[in-house]
Structure 1
Amino acid sequence: MLATIEHINTVVNNFVWGVPAMICIIGVGFYLSYKTRFIQLRKLKYAIKTIIGKALHQSEAAEGATTPFQALCTALAATLGTGSIAGVAGAIAIGGPGAVFWMWFSALLGMCTKFSEVTLAVHFRERNMHGDWVGGPMYYIKNGLSKNWQWLAVAFCSFAVLAVFGTGNATQVNTITVALDSVLINFNIVSDGNLATINLFIGIAITILVALVLLGGIKRIGRVTEKLVPFMALLYIVLALGVVLVNIKELPAVFAMIVKSAFSPSAATGGVVGSMFMSLKKGVSRGIFSNEAGLGTGPIAHASADTNHPVKQGLFGIFEVFIATIIICTLTAFVILCSGVPFTYGVAAGADLTIKGFTSTYGGWVSILTAVALCCFAFSTVLGWGLYGSRCIEFLFGTTIIKPFMIVYSLVAIIGATADLGIIWGIADTFNGLMAIPNLIALFLLSGTVVKLVKEYFSPTYDKD
């Protein structure tokens, strides 16, 4: 039975993340970039300046909303998961160094995709019965498209609800336990035989913490993520920059290898990765996992922002992709490639490869800090995706089901901490791809609205304060 499910999932996954998906993701990203005259490049400096200003001069958000910076941190909390550490390592191992180039390429277009998603989410959002702002793909489909397209909203929410338990919870908690177990064993604190009990306690502790935060509502989620996200991102960036600086002489060769391998993978992998499409596929898919541009999840968090214009929050979407992929994922790639840690091309790799890059430079003690960073990344993802799941299930069944969903979602952490997830990783990957399909269709159909809002916001007569 399990083998049959795995076979079916492999077939669906190969289609979802195959040539059609790559064409849709890249095609929609390029189309939106063209329509907005590449706003992600024209206004990147403006976006960074605006976001830093908002972070330094925060005020309390209105009732039922979060501050724009809290909305960004909640979205980044879900985005900066294990994909930023383990996912990049896997992309390099399977797709070769050239996967990093295609990851950059997808991020360049993804910045505009995320900008468009966030802008539409704020423009078409609405208040729920509790007075909270709610939005996302399901709402810009519902309020922006005709009745003939409403099935897209239901499809998106259905795929999202199924995805959150795997992508957003079980696999993330599993990564936390693996990281903590590694530290405990390496420093001879416990033996392998005691890990099962320890993992159970880890799962219970995470369940309690997740429930306490999520049941507190959007404002509590925002308050937690605005403190957790900057800390974990800064810690990881400092550690990674240290590795790059120590191995700075390797950087020019690494850049050359990334670009050359993007078009001729076999040149860098000894013929193991011979397909340019495999390099492109891994780079684009891992880029999307790192920044979620096109999936439609991030806009759900941004829709709660207390902002006076959709485009103003859309600029936060550009910054989100920039931080997640151009900064965090690039540093992860440099940690692996500049440090020269050995690995086998064509063989799946994960967070352990990234950690080896750190320990080869700093020594074994740094595994504690990398484990802390990894746990923060994973825990923040659990919180962010908990919000996404609750908003989607609310859209499908109403507000009365939110708290029961939060409790069940929190309890899944115990499964993630104690069970062998195996096929769950693959199924979660598939549902991630399925979520993108209705969202990309909606973005294409609503591109005219995005252009109209951009012209309105950047017109000389509009007051941006």
Structure 2
Amino acid sequence: MSDLQTMLNSLVGFLWGPPLVALLGGGGLFFLLYSRFLPYRHLGQSVRLLLRKADDDDPGQLSHFQALSTALSGTLGMGNVAGVALAIAMGGPGAIFWMWMSALLGIATKFYTCTLAVMYRGKDSAGEWQGGPMYVIREGLGEKWKPLAIFFAIAGLLGTMPIFQVNQLVQVVRDTLAVPMGLANEQFFLFELGFGLVLAALVIVVALGQLPRLGKVTAVLVPSMVIGYLLLTLIVLLMHANEVPAAFALIITDAFSGQAAAGGVLGAVIITGFRRAAFSNEAGIGTEAMAHGAARTREPIREGLVAMLGPVIDTLIVCTCTALVILISGVWQSADANGVTLTALAFQKLFPIGGAWILALLVSVLSMSTVFTFWYYGSKCLGFLIGAQHQRHYVWIYAVLVVCGAVISLKLVVSLIDSMYALMAIPTMTSALLLAPKVNAAARRYFAAREALTSDSSGS
């Protein structure tokens, strides 16, 4: 395990270097400029589209709201609770600033990648319409690019394993329940194993219901967990409102000095921010495109507009709230804890009466919704590789991975997922950059049709 950890650390260091950050950040900037800031100009319409009812004959399986909820359930998970703590621990407060920058650029990236996911939907081996980077590459770039599509599917299959979410969920439950119960160290493994088996059973129940059930589950879980978590953080921040400006100032100043962590190396702080932002909002990674590609719509631009809300909600709002709580608490400077335990310590210090229990409940919902969605992503990647008729068997493999995630090392988990996210970004961003002119042409047609319809309505 030690040798594997060392190998993965080296791989992460190589993959998450300046070239990949340039691809994600530079690609997002290109999309923003190339679209003439279209995503920012139409954020209001994105919100309105969430309430639009799909036509009965529209292709796809999910409504706009369900598609966004499903995509958010994959991003509004541990990346917003444990991922932020990891960012601060690894890159200091300044890493949060670069998470913000990544999210601002990610708005444009998601508009392009998720528009393409609907524009270039393809049929799987069972004849069902599917979306995602592997189909965008196959249908949009042609068969000669299929090796790149296979490359994404393999990285996606490994990158959407549930081990990080389950690992952190078990950790927070262990800290909340097992430690106060006074369990001995040798009993922790049995506790983690038993909890992992229960989680695996829940995953099987939801997964056997396929995507419609997943859409219904996430449409309920995601809004409730966002509201609940934001209420908890807002209560804490209001109780310490006088310290919030200083926390913001620390984030901004440390973003350009990098003195609090990473040995004072600014580049390391920037890379840490972009890496954790990718885990938080997944802009340019490609997983969210698989959810939005299943939306019931005939208009690709419409789904791209809805998808833009993802980075705003999960990184600019939820991650910021988590970061402020951790920084105000001061535990990031004094505690050796990492991941979700660091976040739990912050809430426990600032909200001592029941804070840890409330956080454990919310984290359970955050984690499980992500685990459910990652099953869907992984099954679609496997279906692309070996045939959709075989992807139903993935649920049993996935259940085993859930149990493994309950007992595996956090450092090993983070290194593995970071590596796969980096590999997934390469085909996703490459295809989006090559097909960007197609998106611009479709956007011109879409908004011209809307303007004509508005003119006709006002004229009549």
- Same fold judged by TM-score > 0.5? yes
Q: Show the 5 A alignment for 1:9-408.
A: 9-51=8-50, 53-54=51-52, 65-128=61-124, 132-165=128-161, 169-188=162-181, 192-266=185-259, 269=260, 273-341=263-331, 343-344=333-334, 349-408=338-397
Amino acid at match of 1:33: L
Provide the residue aligned with 2:431 in structure 1: 442
Scaled by the length of structure 1, what TM-score is found? 0.92
How far residue 209 of structure 1 moved from its aligned partner, in angstroms, is 1.1
What is the rounded CA distance, in whole Å, between the counterparts of 2:432 and 2:300 in structure 1? 15
Match of residue 456, structure 1, among 419, 438, 445: 445
How far residue 344 of structure 1 moved from its aligned partner, in angstroms, is 4.8
What is the rounded CA distance, in whole Å, between the counterparts of 1:60 and 1:365 in structure 2? 46
What is the rounded CA distance, in whole Å, between the counterparts of 1:200 and 1:330 in structure 2? 33
- How many residue pairs get aligned? The number is 454
Do 2:115 and 2:304's aligned partners in 1 also have CA atoms closer than 8 Å?
A: yes
Q: Which runs of 5+ in 2 are unaligned?
A: none
Amino acid at match of 2:95: A
- Alpha-carbon distance change, 191 to 282 in structure 1, aligned in 2, over 3 angstroms: same
- Sequence identity percentage: 35
Which has the higher mean CA deviation after the structures are superposed, 193-202 or 108-117?
Answer: 193-202
RMSD in angstroms over aligned alpha carbons?
2.3
Secondary structure of residue in 2 paired with 1:237: helix
Secondary structure of residue in 2 paired with 1:300: helix
Do 1:247 and 1:339's aligned partners in 2 also have CA atoms closer than 8 Å?
A: no
Do 1:63 and 1:132's aligned partners in 2 also have CA atoms closer than 8 Å?
A: no
Which has the higher mean CA deviation after the structures are superposed, 197-206 or 91-100?
Answer: 197-206
Do 2:54 and 2:297's aligned partners in 1 also have CA atoms closer than 8 Å?
A: no
- Alpha-carbon distance change, 18 to 253 in structure 1, aligned in 2, over 3 angstroms: same
- Alpha-carbon distance change, 4 to 177 in structure 1, aligned in 2, over 3 angstroms: closer
Q: Which runs of 5+ in 1 are unaligned?
A: none
What is the rounded CA distance, in whole Å, between the counterparts of 2:188 and 2:10 in structure 1? 35
- Alpha-carbon distance change, 420 to 250 in structure 1, aligned in 2, over 3 angstroms: closer
Secondary structure of residue in 2 paired with 1:288: helix
- Alpha-carbon distance change, 343 to 42 in structure 1, aligned in 2, over 3 angstroms: same
How far residue 8 of structure 1 moved from its aligned partner, in angstroms, is 3.0
